Amino acid sequence: MFHKVLIANRGEIAVRIIRALRELGIRSIAVYSDADRASLHVRMADEAAHIGPAPSSQSYLNMERILDAARVHGAEAIHPGYGFLSEDADFAQACADAGFVFIGPSPDSIRKLGSKTAGRRVAIAAHAPVVPGLEEPISSIDQARAAAREIGYPVLLKAVAGGGGKGMRRVDAEAELEAAIRDASSEAQRSFQSSEVYMEKLVVNPRHIEIQVFGDQHGNLIHLGERECSLQRRHQKVIEECPSPLMAAFPEMREAMGQAAIRIASAAGYYNAGTAEFLVDSESKFYFLEMNTRLQVEHPVTELVTGLDLVHLQLLVAAGERLPFSQQDVSWQGSAMECRVYAEDPENGFFPSPGKIVHLTEPGGPGIRVDSGVYPGWTVPIDYDPMLAKLIAFSPDRKTTIQRLLRAVGEYAVMGIHTNLSFFRELLTDSEFRKGNLHTGFIDQFFERRHSRDAPNPELNAIAQLVAARYAGARKQIPPPQAASRWLNEGRSGLLR
Amino acid sequence: MFHKVLIANRGEIAVRIIRALRELGIRSIAVYSDADRASLHVRMADEAAHIGPAPSSQSYLNMERILDAARVHGAEAIHPGYGFLSEDADFAQACADAGFVFIGPSPDSIRKLGSKTAGRRVAIAAHAPVVPGLEEPISSIDQARAAAREIGYPVLLKAVAGGGGKGMRRVDAEAELEAAIRDASSEAQRSFQSSEVYMEKLVVNPRHIEIQVFGDQHGNLIHLGERECSLQRRHQKVIEECPSPLMAAFPEMREAMGQAAIRIASAAGYYNAGTAEFLVDSESKFYFLEMNTRLQVEHPVTELVTGLDLVHLQLLVAAGERLPFSQQDVSWQGSAMECRVYAEDPENGFFPSPGKIVHLTEPGGPGIRVDSGVYPGWTVPIDYDPMLAKLIAFSPDRKTTIQRLLRAVGEYAVMGIHTNLSFFRELLTDSEFRKGNLHTGFIDQFFERRHSRDAPNPELNAIAQLVAARYAGARKQIPPPQAASRWLNEGRSGLLR
Amino acid sequence: MKADIREIEPAVYSVILDGKSFLARVIPSADSYLVEVDGQQFVQEISDPRDATRRGTASATAGRQNLTASMPGKVVRVLVMEGQAVEAGQGLIVVEAMKMQNELKAAKPGRVAKIHVKDGATVEAGEALLIIE
Amino acid sequence: MKADIREIEPAVYSVILDGKSFLARVIPSADSYLVEVDGQQFVQEISDPRDATRRGTASATAGRQNLTASMPGKVVRVLVMEGQAVEAGQGLIVVEAMKMQNELKAAKPGRVAKIHVKDGATVEAGEALLIIE
């Protein structure tokens, strides 16, 4: 096993990896930009290396600075986390060339599967179903127009190198096509350093279900079941869970999708952690979408239902060891669900809300896991993705897991910035959500049917007045006028889609 | 199911129960003494009732005040937690007489099993093995002397109503007997309002292994496996785990002990949660010790390996429902271990260390559960047991669980008071502990072989100097003299047993 | 109403009111207190409760909407022209901040009176973007 | 030695020293700073580093042991008599505090010079219990 590993990432995933390294007795090296000197991953790591200014293009995406840090600190391996360089075959190759183990698949596997168009070709060859669409990036507006006519509107534009909804656009009619390609390309360029965009048929309101695969370098390749990630807002996952409520109705689907995922991974000579994403249409037919050749944000969901630690396993197989179990040893117990907690304002179109975390209370107790990247007093920088933490719950059944999440959301307090916790409170009590009839259009429909929130609770309002008066009194400030309490959510509806 | 439940307890277990109630949609009523107005369980509960001054005899042990609170707040049921009135048959009866459901076994079961001497009689009748000893409390010093001669020294005195090592004394020779009975009786009186003490043979360095049983009011009675609790200091459990390392060597023991526990519970018409404690001698023979007729401190260990929620189940069966599964549905996965985090000073004979928690960081991330009863800024009162929280880890195997606990202890920071976290850091790295050769004399032996700690790390010492100077400089205070850093643990060994 | 209010941490209050227990947290700002009680947020204005420009973006006062940037970012695309009539909910401008593109929309119908920025412009927090009348 | 020291929370410092990362927390008291660095605690004295009565209980200075109560409690039993010779580690007095009985022991050999309390006495923090010479 390694003695020292560098983590080429930041935030909660860097903290997650530091924890795994510490549990395995491996020293951790954090990297940080100017904006992250005081970040949690830096204070928790054993060693830390400064790698440049705040913009990620000059720090977390700067291969040379990262490889320099690995050399100076004597790292043996590099964990890329998710995002940033995690799916960059050139970085995986550069690590290998510089003598570091890249904790992930081979550069060749990343190339074969990392771009969405290449992945589709592998899947077709492996006899896995795919969504109709282009097998090459869009090269001209004329080609795009012709392809869209053939596929039929609505179509979906996607960044070839992309993920997380960045560089993605729905196009309903030809008039929108050109502008949409321009926007998607420029966003793709900014996010992934590649402006390439391709097109596929838009499956209307599908479920989004993914399969976790895991392989070692000795040819063993297994799947660890599914995660349902249908709840998305602007193509960003919001809630993920296992088992998928669909699998409860069709238990044979897990194995069918699992085997399709293994075939695709196997065709690319895959090892380490990977995720095959599928769309499932209203008739429960599934189509391969793309392979994420890295650890996913939502991997804790799988950890809780299987009892495994995926980062431990990543380190194990990266060090050349065999997977310590086989497919028939994997079992799934209970129900796990994850909420992505973001610094964003649900009352203001989910606009990012960076700033200082004045007060922080994270939930705890039975069945609750918090993978956090923040601490009280820290200032969420404006330079990166505004995810603060992942809140994950586990219990014997889906209903209890949802209740547990609600309980934990109630304990969770983040003051000083806005977060989407209030949004989760609403979503988790929604009766349609509880029924498990999920699809990727679910949240948009949720916003439409959620006409207006309950009126402010007059008892809580009275308490707010009492407390504000007490606060002002103790500090000898001007007290608030007694009857002027204003519910924060008034008049917010016009700003929401 | 109930709509409103009163919790006749405080601290972490009150918080634990509030969480379960909230997950089941039940309103929670906390009770508090003068010393606990600002405690975590009060701020987290839906309702709160003041029940008297700080001394527990006038508050948490005051049945009338508690029943009054239940009446005023409209409770339907009362959860006693552990300690305080939880094993008091009169309280269980008083709850029933006042029209409240007591969340626990019947008063009759408590009487049959609650006292150690009565429990021994039930066990003997149920053909379960017991440690040789008295079947009645000690009534005179002459009787005690005669009994001790017959049993043979060393003998153990135990409070009939007791638990947690209170009112317990080892007696090695007749000369010590009278004083020991006096001390044990007075401690028993103060702790349990009963001065009754009995005597049994002291099994030298046994393992302490207990079986969790669970029953409903329809005659279903199952066991949920064992917890090994051999690591004790002054008869107080320090670390608990499942599976017991002994069960790894003798897998058939779990079922044999489980069946013995069920026989005893069944003979007492038992329902709800209970724990049968056993001693296991060096030849792996087990002897029933006593039944704890309540939820145990260490119940999370069982929750993690079985995937069940014992407090949910307690509420379910107290409401008259059937256990929703049977013995063959119970399975055990992975390894769980709990550390009891106390406000006490390991460098000063583990003396209690109440006071204000100036800074608090609790660990998180994969496989870590913290059941805490405190928050930053809170003052640990001098009036009650100094347990702050329980730190519990879960992973696929014992070695990883220990590593995970160590990782979590490293993240855990409690400033302003002393805690036993540094003691856990030592214990968890001990090679004998890691081998799993546990017995109740383990910790005493550990103190003896642990000659002296590593010398202070000069690098950390240098950093302490730099930081103190920076702190003083920023606040324009007198800086500490540069070379005067003193390691806190110097010269402490004389105070430790 | 029998209220027992304790400040148990700085700016954190435990309130027991008629036997019910509440937790309230206060965040002061220049002109108001934000008070969160059991997860619901209330603003207690100190000065004029009608001055609602505090939170930036599209604050609608008497038909006029003054769209400002609530945080530093970059204008990706202006979707309207000066003089153009807009409907409630219509997209006005796309701003990128924290790696997210956000489309700011009209809160009510009106006409674009003035556009202060153009595509690609970098904007600071509070900077005026456009005015709808 | 290249040290980058930042106070990232009040009294919490992130230190990067020669590429290694440390976290240090400071608790000030009247005459010293307690600094915890990566779980190990150090006391930085402000005044006279030899004045070690700070933490109460058996502080051993030049053979004389002045046993004081470190917290409020109750004397359960005094185990020795005035004039009695005691060995290192011998139990002197049993004090109950926070529901725990604690036996205070002699840090080194000596003779009981003075006993200030008797069985059943209630003691305050800092109160003298007995003296060994």
pLDDT tens readout for residues A314-366: 999 999 999 999 999 999 999 999 999 999 998 888 889 999 999 999 999 99
Nearest to A385 among C15, C47, C98 (CB): C98
Counting every residue, how long is chain B? 497
Residue type, B314: Q
Asked if residue D51 is part of any domain, the answer here is no
Asked whether the predicted pLDDT for residue C59 surpasses 50, the reply is no
pLDDT of residue A434: 97
- Extents of the domains making up chain A: 4-103, 132-201, 207-451, 458-496
Compute CA C18 distance to the chain's CA centroid, rounded to the nearest angstrom. 35
Cα B30 from Cα B46, distance rounded (Å): 8
C9 shares a domain with C39? yes
Q: Is B315:B26 a contact under the CB 8 Å cutoff?
A: yes
Q: Mean pLDDT across the stretch A231-260?
A: 94
Catalytic residue, chosen from B294, B340, B369, B404, is B294
Q: Mean pLDDT across the stretch A458-478?
A: 87
Asked if residue C51 is part of any domain, the answer here is no
Asked if residue C58 is part of any domain, the answer here is no
Torsion of CA A327, A333, A337, A338, to 10 degrees: -50
D42: exposed, middle or buried (Cβ count in 10 Å: 0-12, 13-18, 19+):
buried
Count the alpha carbons within 13 Å of B336 in the hemisphere toward its beta carbon: 25
Interface partners of chain B (CB pairs < 8 Å, 3 or more) are A, C, D
Residue of B299, B181, B184 whose CA lies nearest to B237: B299
Do the chains contact at C9 and B42, CB–CB below 8 Å?
no
C101 shares a domain with C40? no
DSSP A197: E
Bridging pattern class, strands A27-32 and A486-487: unpaired
Q: Mean pLDDT across the stretch B429-436?
A: 96
Asked if residue D58 is part of any domain, the answer here is no
Please provide the distance, in angstroms rounded to a whole number, between the alpha carbons at the two ends of chain B.
50
Do the chains contact at B375 and A361, CB–CB below 8 Å?
yes
CATH of B207-451, one of 3.30.470.20, 3.40.190.10, 3.30.9.10, 3.40.50.300: 3.30.470.20
A249: exposed, middle or buried (Cβ count in 10 Å: 0-12, 13-18, 19+):
exposed
Catalytic residue, chosen from A169, A254, A294, A404, is A294
> Residues 63..82 of C with a Cβ closer than 8 Å to A: which?
70-72, 76-77
What the block records as the tokens of B441 is 């004399």
DSSP per-residue codes, C46-94 = SS-TT---TT-S-EEETTEEEEE-SSSEEEEEE---TT-EE-TT-EEEE
Chain B residues within an 8 Å CB radius of D94: 183
Q: Is B9:B79 a contact under the CB 8 Å cutoff?
A: yes
Nearest to C27 among A353, A416, A485 (CB): A416
Do the chains contact at B463 and D22, CB–CB below 8 Å?
yes
Residue type, B416: G
Q: Does D18 touch chain A (CB under 8 A)?
A: no
Q: Is A315:A101 a contact under the CB 8 Å cutoff?
A: no
C88 pLDDT band, cuts 50/70/90, is: confident
Nearest to C21 among B30, B375, B377 (CB): B30
Which of A63-67, A227-231, C90-94, D65-69 is the least confident region? D65-69
Min distance D109 CA to chain B CA atoms (Å): 11
Asked whether the predicted pLDDT for residue B35 surpasses 80, the reply is yes
Min distance D25 CA to chain B CA atoms (Å): 8
Compute CA D98 distance to the chain's CA centroid, rounded to the nearest angstrom. 17
What the block records as the tokens of C26 is 């206060």
Q: Does A456 touch chain C (CB under 8 A)?
A: yes
Q: Does A454 touch chain C (CB under 8 A)?
A: no
Q: Is A353:A344 a contact under the CB 8 Å cutoff?
A: yes
D83 shares a domain with D31? no
Q: How many CB atoms lie within 10 A of CB A186?
A: 17
C68 shares a domain with C41? no
C38 shares a domain with C12? yes
Q: Residue D40's domain spans which residues?
A: 1-46
Cα B338 from Cα B16, distance rounded (Å): 15
Long-range (24+ apart) CB contacts under 8 A made by A486-492 are: A486/C42, A486/C43, A486/C44, A486/C45, A486/C49, A487/A455, A487/A456, A487/A461, A487/C40, A487/C41, A487/C42, A487/C43, A488/A347, A488/C34, A488/C41, A488/C42, A488/C43, A489/A347, A489/A453, A489/A456, A489/C41, A491/C60, A492/A347, A492/A348
- Whether B294 is catalytic is yes
> Residues 114..133 of D with a Cβ closer than 8 Å to B: which?
none
Count the alpha carbons within 13 Å of B265 in the hemisphere toward its beta carbon: 32
- The dihedral through the CA atoms of A152, A154, A158, A164 has a sign that is negative
Asked whether the predicted pLDDT for residue D64 surpasses 80, the reply is no
pLDDT of residue A477: 67
Do the chains contact at D5 and B349, CB–CB below 8 Å?
no
C30 shares a domain with C78? no
Helix (H/G/I), strand (E/B), else coil: A223: strand
Interface test with A, best of B13, B16, B19 (most A CBs within 10 A): B19
Cα B318 from Cα B312, distance rounded (Å): 10
Q: Is A209:A240 a contact under the CB 8 Å cutoff?
A: no
Asked if residue D33 is part of any domain, the answer here is yes
Do the chains contact at B38 and C6, CB–CB below 8 Å?
yes
Nearest to A307 among B25, B311, B334 (CB): B334
DSSP B20: H
DSSP B193: S
Residue of B46, B51, B48, B59 whose CA lies nearest to B19: B46
Helix (H/G/I), strand (E/B), else coil: A466: helix
Match 């390996």 to its residue by tokens: B305
Nearest to A43 among D10, D19, D21 (CB): D21
Residue of C31, C120, C13 whose CA lies nearest to C75: C120
Nearest to B413 among D25, D55, D89 (CB): D25
Asked whether the predicted pLDDT for residue D31 surpasses 80, the reply is no
Cα B27 from Cα A327, distance rounded (Å): 44
What the block records as the tokens of D51 is 């004045």
Helix (H/G/I), strand (E/B), else coil: C8: strand
What is the pTM assigned to this prediction? 0.86
Q: List the CATH number of the domain containing D107.
A: 2.40.50.100
Residue of B70, B58, B59 whose CA lies nearest to B96: B70
Min distance D100 CA to chain B CA atoms (Å): 8
Residue D73's closest chain B neighbor by CA?
B382
Instruction: Answer whether the bond into residue B132 is a cis peptide, omega within 30°.
Output: no
Residue type, D64: R
The total number of structural domains that make up chain D? 2
D69 shares a domain with D31? no
Residue of A13, A72, B48, B490 whose CA lies nearest to D52: B490
DSSP C36: E
Q: Is D84:D112 a contact under the CB 8 Å cutoff?
A: yes
CATH of A132-201, one of 3.40.50.12780, 3.10.310.30, 3.30.1490.20, 3.90.700.10: 3.30.1490.20
B492 pLDDT band, cuts 50/70/90, is: very low
pLDDT of residue C63: 62
Asked whether the predicted pLDDT for residue B479 surpasses 80, the reply is no
Residue B184's closest chain D neighbor by CA?
D101
Residues 6 or more apart whose Cβ sits within 8 Å of residue D92: D67, D78, D79, D80, D86, D103, D104, D105, D106, D112, D129, D130, D132
Cα C28 from Cα C10, distance rounded (Å): 12
Chain B residues within an 8 Å CB radius of C12: 377
Cα B464 from Cα B485, distance rounded (Å): 8
Do the chains contact at C21 and B378, CB–CB below 8 Å?
no
Nearest to C8 among B30, B46, B377 (CB): B377
Work out the angle between the directed axes of helices A174-192 and A141-151 (0-180°, nearest 10).
120
Cα A260 from Cα C6, distance rounded (Å): 60
Chain B residues within an 8 Å CB radius of A364: 362, 364, 369-372
Residue of A403, A364, A392, A395 whose CA lies nearest to A296: A392
Count the alpha carbons within 13 Å of B438 in the hemisphere toward its beta carbon: 28
Q: What is the widest separation between alpha-carbon atoms in chain A?
A: 74
D95 shares a domain with D120? yes
pLDDT digits (tens, 9 = 90+) for B76-97: 999 999 999 999 999 999 999 9
- Among A348-362, B307-321, C102-116, name the most confident range: B307-321
Asked if residue D90 is part of any domain, the answer here is yes
Q: Which residue has the higher pLDDT, B399 or A353?
A: B399
Q: Does D39 touch chain A (CB under 8 A)?
A: no
pLDDT of residue B452: 61
Chains C and D touch (3+ CB pairs under 8 A): no
Chains B and D touch (3+ CB pairs under 8 A): yes
Do the chains contact at C19 and B47, CB–CB below 8 Å?
yes
Bridging pattern class, strands B47-52 and B27-33: parallel
D76 shares a domain with D28? no
Asked if residue D55 is part of any domain, the answer here is no
Q: Does D55 touch chain B (CB under 8 A)?
A: yes
Residue B497's closest chain D neighbor by CA?
D89
Quote the mean pLDDT of chain B. Answer: 92
Helix (H/G/I), strand (E/B), else coil: B240: strand
Which residues face C45 on adjacent strands? Answer: C32
Interface partners of chain A (CB pairs < 8 Å, 3 or more) are B, C, D
Q: Does D102 touch chain A (CB under 8 A)?
A: no
pLDDT of residue D61: 40
Cα B6 from Cα B17, distance rounded (Å): 10
pLDDT of residue B66: 98
Distances (CA, A) of A53 to A33, A50, B416, C46, D7: 5, 9, 37, 40, 20
How much of chain B exceeds pLDDT 70, in percent? 95
Domain A4-103 has CATH 2.170.150.20: no
B369 pLDDT band, cuts 50/70/90, is: very high
- The dihedral through the CA atoms of B354, B357, B361, B364 has a sign that is positive
Chain A residues within an 8 Å CB radius of D16: 42, 48
Chain C residues within an 8 Å CB radius of A354: 71, 98
Helix (H/G/I), strand (E/B), else coil: A23: helix
pLDDT digits (tens, 9 = 90+) for B225-240: 999 999 999 889 999 9
> Residues 378..417 of A with a Cβ closer than 8 Å to B: which?
395-396, 400, 403-404, 406-407, 410-411
pLDDT digits (tens, 9 = 90+) for A134-169: 888 999 999 999 999 998 899 999 988 876 678 899
pLDDT of residue C49: 39
